[in-house]
Amino acid sequence: MTVLEATAVTKSFRGLQALRGVDISVEEGQILGIIGANGAGKTTLFNCITGAFAPTSGRVTLDGEDVTGLPAHQLARRGMVRTFQLMRPFATMSVLENVEIAAMSRGARGADVRREAARAVERTGLAEWAGRRSGSLPAGMQKRLELARALAMRPRVLLLDEVLAGLVPAERAPVLDLLEDLRRQEGTTMVFIEHIMAAVRRLSDHVVMMDQGAVLARGDAESVLSDPKVVEAYLGKETRSA
């Protein structure tokens, strides 16, 4: 079953065509990796899908239902959950409070909120930090907090924008383990933007490569990453690989 589908999505900003008819779709329990150079339109695509702004044209469906142009908070409540490259914690609140607010968004109440939040905090290795003010966490821990908030929202589809950015290599493997585990155990459907090719190879069932606002190649990770067009347009210039 297709969980998320974007069809012929375009986005223009005053004459600048940031997206030129992009199609992507993700089946239940699968992971789609999106790669491409900076400025290729990856984050703009995420923004159009998650309601940060409405696409100029095209259609976005979640579980077959047209959700094009719905505001971000409504999409989040329906399970379209997103993390950002730059963290957005509620800095004045504790780690646990941050996650509790996320747990509330999908309708949990009272003891359920605390249980779901505690579970997400535990799972992301933040239990010891639960009472700490989130604004005082180091960047790596704030990244975990973003993941904890996303998990507490019981995502129908989880969109991760460079979730490994800012993490030192030793911190990346456990995050990848967690994401794989989420897919295996809970069947979480994911779309992720990533520049680290080792992560793309390890996680993706399918890969879409974007270039100048359009899809340049799609398929399984190996075929896309070895595609001469992809090598020329992106990988040849790519320096961040692990």
Partner 1 sequence: MTTTLPATDTSPPGARTAPRLSEKSRVLLVTGAVLLVVAVVAGLRAGSGAVLTQALVTGVLTGGIYSLVAMGLTLIYGVLHIINFANGSLVALALYLTLICVQDLGMHPYVALVVVMPAMFALGALLQATLLNPVMKAPIQIQLLITIGLALAIENGLLLAFGPNPRSVALPGNTGVQVLGATVELSRIWAFAGALVIVALLALLLQRTRVGTEIRAVAANPEGARLVGIDIRWIYVLTFGLGAMAAGAAGVLVSPFTTIEPTTGAVFNLTAFVVVVLGGMGNVPGALVGGLVVGLTEQLAGLILPTQSPLLAVFVVFLVVLFVRPRGVFGRSA
User: What DSSP line would sit under 12-72, residue for residue?
Assistant: EETTEEEEEEEEEEEETT-EEEEE--TTSSHHHHHHHHHTSS--SEEEEEETTEE-TT--H
Rounded to an integer, what distance in angstroms lies between the CA atom of residue 27 and that of residue 21? 20
| Contact flags string 138-167 toward partner 1, x per CB under 8 A | x-xx--x----x---x--------------
Q: Contact with partner 1 (CB under 8 A): which of 40, 41, 62, 82?
A: 82
Among 1-9, 79-87, 189-197, 233-241, which window interacts with partner 1 (CB under 8 A)?
79-87
**105: contact with partner 1 by CB under 8 A:** yes
Q: Which is nearer to partner 1, 150 or 207 (CB)?
A: 150
Count interface residues toward partner 1 (CB under 8 A).
51
* Residue that has been written with the tokens 């005053």 in this structure: 14
> How far apart are CB 235 and partner 1 at their closest, in Å?
29
**84: contact with partner 1 by CB under 8 A:** yes
Position 74: which residue type? Q
Q: Is 130 helix (H, G, I), strand (E, B) or coil?
A: coil
Rounded to an integer, what distance in angstroms lies between the CA atom of residue 7 and that of residue 147? 27
Beta strands in the chain (DSSP E): 2-13, 16-27, 31-35, 57-62, 65-66, 80-83, 157-161, 189-193, 206-211, 214-219
**111: contact with partner 1 by CB under 8 A:** no
Rounded to an integer, what distance in angstroms lies between the CA atom of residue 229 and that of residue 226? 9
Q: Contact with partner 1 (CB under 8 A): which of 54, 93, 118, 198?
A: 93
Q: Contact with partner 1 (CB under 8 A): which of 8, 39, 88, 231?
A: 88
> How far apart are CB 153 and partner 1 at their closest, in Å?
7
**Sign of the alpha-carbon dihedral angle for 174, 178, 181, 183:** negative
Query: What angle, 0 to 180 degrees and rounded to 10, lies between the N-to-C axes of helices 95-104 and 139-152?
Result: 30
| Contact flags string 162-201 toward partner 1, x per CB under 8 A | ------x-xx--xx-xx-xx---x----------------
160 touches 84 (CB < 8 A): no
Q: Which is nearer to partner 1, 171 or 238 (CB)?
A: 171
Name which of residues 9 to 68 contact partner 1 (CB under 8 A): none
Residue 182: which of 120, 129, 101 has the closest Cα?
A: 120
Return residues touching partner 1 (CB under 8 A): 71-74, 76-77, 81-84, 88-93, 97, 100-102, 104-106, 122-129, 131-133, 136, 138, 140-141, 144, 149, 153, 168, 170-171, 174-175, 177-178, 180-181, 185
